[in-house]
Amino acid sequence: MPSAELITSPERYQMMIAHLGGQKAIAIDTESNSLFAYQERVCLIQLSSRERDYLLDPFAFDDLHALGELMADEHVQKIMHAGDYDISTLKRDYDFTFNNVFDTMLAASALGESSLGLSTLLEKYFGIELAKKYQRANWGERPVKDDMLRYAQADSHFLIPLRDYLLPRLEAIGWLELVQEDSNAMAKNTPAMKPHCEDVWRVKGTRDLSPEEMSLLAELNHQRELQAQKRDRPPFKIFGDPSMVAIAQAMPQTLEELSALKVFSKHQMKRYGNLIVNTVTNWLEKPTKLHRPAVLRPCDAELERHEALKKLRKTIAEKEGIASNLVLPRDLLEKIARHDPQSMPELESLMSDYPLRFARFGKAIFDLLLRRRL
């Protein structure tokens, strides 16, 4: 790879935007710091054209509006690999809108590839082995190490050649337009990632806890959140879910009882031991109950429609020799089963993000739903 340019100044940023805006296609990837911060954020944005690679440091800028306009530009194709994560984080941090997206992972899936990781595909198609050393690195640290920048560059540098390799193969099987449809639907429908929030129901291992134990767990979780926020660390790096669950069950009232559980290291005992014991004893003075929220189960008719649509999808896929999710993506199948459209125009509206699929499979889908109502 040629050397990438690290973008940290307004002048170079504008020059980068001018260059990328003149391209027919650009590649994009991001790096975030979810393993190292209480609130994850995008820490590096990799952008590539056929001629140049850029590494944009978003920490150096108060406003990335020009880049947002480029992401929304329908005349410039944005090439990504498994782009839903990048899209969701960029929507969260910068409120970007994405148009004209091509996802190489979706393209590889349409071609029947079972291993869809970027490194796997590049090695298979081009004999290129990507380094994995910095997959879990702290991208929020500054300055970013040169080796990390080189690692990040590769994630966007090879996406345009990968797309070029996949295009004729998709055209040969007649799936290019449908992959493009999937990519744009993914870009439109992927929601902005929600900022981190306190939620005891996301703690793992709570299924067998009593309402009393859940109530204590909520108090323990709240204290963990406060400590994580104070130290700007992910909550799991304060202490893990299994530790909290064990404490909620045992309800230790002394440091000795807490230590006997063997869920904390010596460092954790020293830093958080008194906090935990105090939380438990305070809760025991006025114990309460916390009941699990009711989960609304789909009605039997919806579940039956869902199964019927899955069978139809499988039948069509076997007939055309393709993966079943390419006939009806899961989110679209669930949407149709939930709404049970009563007319072809209503089905077309539900499939508005998938017009090619409606044209190709809409009649078969509606005929199935109609037969089930007779």
Edge-to-edge strand order for the sheet containing 77-80?
Answer: 5-7, 53-56, 42-48, 25-32, 77-80, 101-103
147 pLDDT tier (thresholds 50, 70, 90): very high
149 pLDDT tier (thresholds 50, 70, 90): very high
**Closest by CA position to 56, among listed 7, 11, 13:** 7
DSSP sequence for 129-150 = ----TTTT--TTSSSPPHHHHH
Give the integer Cα–Cα distance in Å for 209 and 196: 24
Residue 159, token pair as written in the block: 């996406």
DSSP sequence for 352-367 = TT-HHHHHHHHHHHHH
**Closest by CA position to 291, among listed 222, 223, 220, 212:** 212
Q: What angle do CA 36, 42, 45 make, to 5 degrees?
A: 130
What residues form DSSP beta bridges with 29?
A: 46
Instruction: Delimit the domains of the chain by residue range.
Output: 5-189, 200-285, 300-373
Q: Would you call 74 helix, strand, or coil by DSSP?
A: coil
326 pLDDT tier (thresholds 50, 70, 90): confident
Residue 219, token pair as written in the block: 């108090």
Residues 74-125 have pLDDT tens digits of 999 999 999 999 999 999 999 999 999 999 999 999 998 889 999 999 999 9
Q: How many CB atoms lie within 10 A of CB 78?
A: 26
Measured between alpha carbons, how far is residue 77 from residues 24, 218, 259 in Å?
Answer: 6, 46, 57
The answer to whether the CB of 290 falls within 8 A of the CB of 214 is yes
Q: Examine the pLDDT at 246 and tell me if it is beyond 80.
A: yes
Residues 345-366 have pLDDT tens digits of 999 999 999 999 999 999 999 9
**Closest by CA position to 128, among listed 95, 97, 157:** 157
Spelled out in words, what is the top-level CATH class assigned to the domain 300-373?
mainly alpha
Pairing mode, strands 42-48 and 101-103: unpaired
Helices assigned H by DSSP within 73-175: 84-94, 104-110, 118-126, 146-157, 159-173
Q: Examine the pLDDT at 19 and tell me if it is beyond 80.
A: yes
Q: What was the pLDDT predicted at 354? A: 95
Residue 101 main-chain phi, psi, to 5 deg:
-110, 145
DSSP assignment letter at 36 = T
Query: 5-189 in CATH: which number?
Result: 3.30.420.10
- Give yes or no on whether 5-189 and 200-285 have one common fold: no
What is the value of pTM for the model shown?
0.92
The CATH superfamily of 200-285 is: HRDC domain (1.10.150.80)
Contacts (Cβ under 8 Å, ≥6 apart) of 74:
99, 100
Residue 136, token pair as written in the block: 């879990």
260 pLDDT tier (thresholds 50, 70, 90): very high
Q: Examine the pLDDT at 374 and tell me if it is beyond 80.
A: no
**Closest by CA position to 5, among listed 162, 161, 156:** 156
The answer to whether the CB of 205 falls within 8 A of the CB of 241 is yes
Q: Examine the pLDDT at 316 and tell me if it is beyond 90.
A: yes
Give the integer Cα–Cα distance in Å for 344 and 85: 33
Q: Would you call 43 helix, strand, or coil by DSSP?
A: strand
